[in-house]
Amino acid sequence: MRLPLCLLLSGALALPCMVLSAQAQEQHASPMNQEYHQQMSRMHDEMMAAMNEQDPDRAFARGMLAHHIGAVEMAQTQLKYGKDPEMRRLAESVIAAQQQEINQMKAWLKAHPAK
């Protein structure tokens, strides 16, 4: 009985330290890393929120919309900081392709409001 209790207490005491460590790492991250972390976090939150839709088509459209917006934001960060010509061209093509699909999904969602 004592061992499981000790393990549980050890884990509970370590959790705040792990959270603080992750926060400290993000605070010391470069501006580029901070942008990528913020973009990924926002994209993940919006994709997960979309999964609360009762309509499967709206869930798909909202989830993919968040994913595409995240891809465009990451590509913009690549253009802001990246130097490699191949990756810069890829970022430009991602922005062009994803923006068309973003516009399509926004129009579809507007035409198909939640019931």
What domain range is 102 assigned to? 30-111
Reported as a single tens digit per residue, the pLDDT across 3-39 is: 665 555 566 667 665 555 555 555 689 999 999 999 9
Count the domains in the chain: 1
Q: Residue 63's CB: how many other CB atoms inside 10 A?
A: 19
Q: Is residue 4 part of a domain?
A: no
Q: Is residue 86 part of a domain?
A: yes
Q: Is residue 1 part of a domain?
A: no
Q: Is residue 17 part of a domain?
A: no
Q: Rounded to 10 degrees, what is the CA torsion of 76, 41, 18, 26? A: 30
Q: Is residue 12 part of a domain?
A: no
Reported as a single tens digit per residue, the pLDDT across 41-100 is: 999 999 999 999 999 999 999 999 999 999 999 999 999 999 999 999 999 999 999 999
In sequence order, the 6+-apart residues with CB closer than 8 A to the CB of 43 are 66, 67, 69, 70, 73
Claim: this prediction has a pTM higher than 0.85: no
